[in-house]
Structure 1
Amino acid sequence: MTAKCLKVVQVLPELNSGGVERGTIEFARELVKLGHQSIVISNGGRQVNKLEAEGSTHIQMPVHKKSLMSLRQVRLMRQQLLALKPDIVHVRSRVPAWIVWLAWRKLPKESRPKLISTFHGLYSVNFYSAVMARAERIIAISDCVHEYILKNYSVSPNKITRIYRGVDPESFNKIASLDAWKDALYAEHPELKNKRIILMPGRLTRWKGQEAFINMMRLLVDANPDFHGVIVGEADPIKEHYKTELLGLCEAKQLQDSISFLGHRSDIQNLYQLAEVTCHMSNKPEPFGRTVPEALAVGCKVVAFDRGGASESMKDAYPQGLVESDNIELFAKKIIELSEDNTDIRLPDAFYLSYQVQETLSVYELALVEQ
């Protein structure tokens, strides 16, 4: 790991909820702990206070809108980079990447920071997405993302490093006692008490698989009415209609008393520990599937469709939980089978934050020594 104090600028659309946002904040905190200078540029959001409290600097810029109007930010971004003089600029999304790249390429070569991108998604293959491959070094968050980059962009394999998104052990670990937390939860949601909780975390969006979860819960409840589904996550304001659809599906399946919608929660670790099983049911390949290693780190069993990045952590840590994609009958049977399994779960080191930080700093080092 580099002994030099680095000035690192991370750029992403916003700092609200989501895995990219949380990962950015965690990485920023670790940079500060290691003596580096951490700066984040975004349009802001509810996690800015946390970021700043942990020692990073936040600069608010409207780098979030998928609009040609965002190109107006290029000049201001160039001025920011000239003033900040960072060693590294790390882009984590396509709109910010365009703004940064257009600003960066017009800087004098001797004044340019090293440009790093992380592919957090299996983006649509087009000119717009290709900006992520223009960085000097590229990080892929899973093997399937690594393969996607090589397949779709003219990038040397030597430019790409696969680094899993790391779980923070300070946030995801086994807590000795949840008694007080449970009392508060049951006061708010009495329907959960004395139930066998089956957890479905994730934003309310069609591809995450909440519909499949509801259909699967009908099978589970038929087998054992003690099973109770818990859907955790919120819908984007423009997708509130999807939550209405999900509530209607619960009603059609007569599951109003067997599935609870908890919305956005900041206590997801405790819910992992309370749950018998966490479900991952995305209906298309997910780049990584952060909920899988988070739940496994806490010791919660996971059942997941065998597709995309989510299956990579499952194969390494809990292969018995993988199920043929889109087969909800097998999914329900697997939950029933594993609910009686007391096998100890150990998440491999490669899925923890410390490993991610070390590997990312190694990528920065490689970039800094290149001409």
Structure 2
Amino acid sequence: MTLKVIQFLPSLRGGGVEIGTLEVAKALVQAGHESLVVSAGGPMVESLEADGSTHIRWDLGKKSPLSFRHIWALRRWLREQRADVVHVRSRMPAWIVYLAWRGMPENERPRFMTTMHGLHSVSAYSEIMCRGERVIAVSKTVEEYIAKNYPRTDMSRVRLVNRGVSDEEYPWDYCPDEQWLSQWRNEFPQFAGKRLICLPGRLTRLKGHRYFLNLMAALSQRFDDVHGIVVGSEDPKRQGYAKELVEQVKAMGLQDQLTFTGGRGDMKNIYSQSAMVLSLSSKPESFGRTTTEALSMGVPVVGFDHGGVGEQLQSLFPMGRVPCFDESVLLSKVDALLHQPEKPKKNDCYLKSKMLAQTLTIYQELASTAQS
């Protein structure tokens, strides 16, 4: 059965939701289906269209009552499109699409589905993500979150589809080419002869940098060949926090043990040069892409045992699980791995290929069943 699927999201400016949208769009085209994406646009549009999808520029993501003015035009457009499935991935577009869709005659409207990508604040506004005729939960954490916080949700409509990474893009035991290695050594000569401990993520308080600094202070008393790297860009809205971190490093005397690399586009290579990767977020994440990427490459990850990160560690590297915010256990786990390195299990659960196959199966299943 050939399908026409329309995905909706606020924009295509980068991020996990956007990456997943493009991956599904490409898979639809490769399978012979018609793929449309509606968003306010962004730099990822070019890649989307190059892979064979059609982009419709329509800003449905602004959190404003004025956004609801689009409902009637959208309803007309949906009737013209005669799509099989509409798939919404964000709350504000979901409300507009849902209200437009609900006002269509049942025999003319497409099937309506949603993906719950995050652990949104519990509210009537967020509950729209549970109203799909099928609801994708991107992790067991999200599935349990829906069941606990939105008891009106018919859980028979919820489908667990773990986010995944490509084992070709993040291959096991990957080694960068000599050109990159040479540039890396030239840019960061202080890393020579050091074992790197990597904390990836944008510079925000949620990423747990305080735990990392305390950890590095303790490790500097035990090892002379360990160096910490914080890989992530400053948040434009929180530049004061970045300055605060730099000052804290100086106050703790860690200038020679820790480096801020800034935002990087070569994470695969950086993982490959790391003795281990950390995940120290103060709030549970719905998935935790950096954890999956590193584990897929055979790089050990140590992280707080909550959310999607806890799930991944339980599946692929149980030794890396740390009770939330327990700094003594964090230190002992990292210390043990530095003394006796261990590798995670091969990733056979969090694969992009599996995620895409399951998503396309849900589209087919939904399109072929009667309207509910």
The TM tier, using the shorter chain, reads: over 0.9
- With over 3 angstroms needed to count, the CA separation of the structure-2 counterparts of 1:292 and 1:89, relative to structure 1, is same
Q: Among residues 140, 157, 172, which one is paired with 1:159 in the alignment?
A: 157
User: Take 2:77 and 2:188, find their aligned partners in 1: how far apart are those partners?
Assistant: 48
Does the residue aligned with 1:309 lie in a helix, a strand or coil? helix
Q: CA distance change for structure 1 residues 342 and 64 in 2, over 3 Å: closer, same or farther?
A: same
| Residue identity in the other structure for 2:249 | C
CA contact (8 A) 1:349 1:355 kept: no
- Between the aligned partners of 1:115 and 1:56, the Cα distance in structure 2 is 20
Structure 2 CA distance for partners of 1:271 and 1:61, relative to 1, 3 Å: same
8 Å CA contact retained: 2:279, 2:303: yes
In the TM superposition, what are the counterparts of 1:173-192 in structure 2 within 5 Å?
173-174=171-172, 175-192=174-191
Give per-residue Cα distances to partners, 1:266-321, cap 9 Å, x unaligned: 21111111111010111122111121111111111100111112111111111011
Compare 191-200 and 316-325 and name the one that shifted more. Answer: 191-200
- The answer as to whether partners of 1:293 and 1:347 remain within 8 angstroms in 2 is no
| Aligned residues of 2:295 and 2:347 also touching (Cα < 8 A) | no
Q: Deviations over 1:239-266 (max 9, x none)?
A: 2222222222222222233222223222
Is 1:143 paired with 2:135? Answer: no
Alpha-carbon distance between aligned partners in 2 of 1:186 and 1:176, rounded to the nearest angstrom = 15
Mapping of residues 15-26 of structure 1, within 5 Å = 15-26=12-23
Query: TM-score, length-normalised on structure 1?
Result: 0.93
- Tell me which residue corresponds to 1:47: 44
Report the secondary structure of 1:182's partner residue.
helix
Where do 1:92-241 residues align within 5 Å?
Answer: 92-153=89-150, 154-174=152-172, 175-241=174-240
Deviation at 1:211, TM superposition (A): 2.4
Give the 3-state SS of the residue equivalent to 1:337 in structure 2.
helix
| Aligned counterpart in structure 2 of residue 71 of structure 1, from 63, 68, 72 | 68
Partner SS for 1:331: helix
Structure 2: any 5+ residue segments left out of the alignment? none
Distance 1:187 1:50, change over 3 A: farther
Mark the CA change 1:274 to 1:65 in structure 2 (over 3 Å): closer, same or farther: same
**Structure 1 residue runs without a partner (length 5+):** none
| TM-score normalised by structure 2 residue count | 0.93
SS in 2 for 1:349: coil
State which drifts further: 338-347 or 323-332.
338-347
> Paired residue for 1:272?
271
- Is 2:207–2:282's contact at 8 Å kept on the other side of the alignment? yes
Q: Is the 8 A contact 1:196 1:275 kept in 2?
A: yes
When residues 219 and 65 of structure 1 are mapped into structure 2, their CA distance, relative to the original with a 3 A threshold, is farther
Contact 2:176 2:269 in 1 (8 A): no
Displacement of 1:43: 1.9
- Rounded Cα–Cα distance in structure 2 between residues aligned with 1:202 and 1:224: 25
1:220-299 matches, within 5 Å, as 220-299=219-298
CA offsets per residue over residues 100-139 of structure 1, 9 Å max, x none? 1122112222221111111111111111101111111101
What is the alpha-carbon distance in structure 1 between the residues aligned to residue 83 and residue 346 of structure 2? 35
Provide the rounded CA distance (Å) in 1 between the counterparts of 2:190 and 2:60. Answer: 43
Decide whether the 8 Å contact of 1:28 with 1:51 is kept in 2.
yes
| 73-82 or 249-258, which deviates more | 73-82
CA RMSD across the alignment: 1.9
State the partner residue of 1:370: 370
Q: Deviations over 1:309-343 (max 9, x none)?
A: 21111111110111111012321221221134454
My pick for the range that moved more, 348-357 or 270-279, is 348-357
Worse-superposed segment, 115-124 or 51-60 = 51-60
Asked if the contact 2:299/2:343 (under 8 Å) is kept, the reply is no
Shift of 1:94: 0.8
Q: How many residues align?
A: 368
| C-alpha distance 122-224 of structure 1, shift in aligned 2 (>3 A) | same
Letter in 2 for 1:136: E
2:328 matched to 1:329? yes
Question: Partners in 2 of 1:142 and 1:364 — Cα distance?
Answer: 19
CA drift of 1:344 comes to 4.2
- Bigger shift: residues 62-71 or 284-293: 62-71
